[in-house]
A and B are shown apart, each in its own frame.
Chain A
Amino acid sequence: NAGVMQNPRHLVRRRGQEARLRCSPMKGHSHVYWYRQLPEEGLKFMVYLQKENIIDESGMPKERFSAEFPKEGPSILRIQQVVRGDSAAYFCASSSSPAYEQYFGPGTRLTVT
């Protein structure tokens, strides 16, 4: 009974490179949420997706960040031209319905050098 899976667990990128973070929801879940956790801060909502649709991206920075959840395969959070301020832990959560509990993955820790 696999939970939410995220990979890679750790990612190091130089400034200006692209980062791709992947999330596979729990079996039977079609709702995916991305959150970012900066050092010593709480989790901040970024984006909510269902299969092939972005439902709410109110927490996404307007530039360099994008997310998708294709019909087949994992959800992808993409950060272009990374900067040092993008260094954080990125968590994915999934739920079976918008009204139900969100279960989190182990996170991807992005370090920008």
Chain B
Amino acid sequence: QKEVEQDPGPLSVPEGAIVSLNCTYSNSAFQYFMWYRQYSRKGPELLMYTYSSGNKEDGRFTAQVDKSSKYISLFIRDSQPSDSATYLCAMSSNTDKLIFGTGTRLQVFP
């Protein structure tokens, strides 16, 4: 079993839709949770960074962490074609190495 599981998609939605992306994990020691966006052949871009459980909002993005269920989510409101990319969840326990999911490919069509 992988430490971090993420549905690879692809997820295809119309412009303006609310997108929900999720990861589950098995290591209860994880405390730091991140979402990155990666465009094709580019480096990952940090979108959200949260510590422990709870919600965090930044513009159209909301990150949720439920440590009791070992489940994290990223919601994208009013999705745009420019949001089309691969979304990677990442987490760590002792703040050095990040453990990544395999990424979910999102396609937002006009």
Instruction: From the candidates A6, A99, A101, name the one contacting B34 in the complex (CB within 8 A).
Output: A101
In chain A between 82 and 105, which residues have their CB closer than 8 angstroms to a CB of chain B?
91, 93, 98-105
Give the size range of B's interface with the partner: 20 to 34
Q: Identify which of residues 89-106 in chain B touch chain A, using a CB-to-CB cut-off of 8 Å.
A: 90, 94-103
Given A42-B88, A43-B88: A101 touches B46 (CB 8 Å cut-off)? yes
- Chain A residues positioned under 8 Å from B90 (CB to CB): 43
The answer to whether A91 and B43 touch across the interface, beta carbons within 8 angstroms, is yes
18 A–B contact pairs at CB < 8 A? A6-B43, A35-B98, A41-B102, A42-B6, A42-B88, A42-B101, A42-B102, A43-B88, A43-B98, A43-B100, A44-B100, A91-B44, A99-B32, A101-B34, A102-B98, A104-B43, A107-B42, A107-B43
A55 near B96 with CB under 8 A, answer yes
A45 and B99 contact, CB distance less than 8 A: yes
CB neighbours of B42 from chain A (8 A): 106-107
Partner of A59, one of B6, B97, B103: B97
Which A residues fall within an 8 A CB radius of B?
A: 4, 6, 33, 35, 41-45, 48, 55-56, 58-59, 91, 93, 98-107, 109
Is B66 an interface residue, CB under 8 A from the partner? no
A43→B95 contact, CB < 8 A: no
B interface with A by C-beta (< 8 Å): 4, 6, 32, 34, 36, 41-46, 49, 88, 90, 94-103
- Least Cβ distance of B46 to chain A in Å? 6
Residues of B near A109 (CB, < 8 A) are 41
Distance from B25 Cβ to chain A, minimum over Cβ atoms (Å): 13
The answer to whether B97 touches A99, judged by C-beta atoms less than 8 angstroms apart, is: no
- B99 CB to nearest chain A CB (Å): 7
Cα A6 to Cα B42 in complex, Å, equals 12
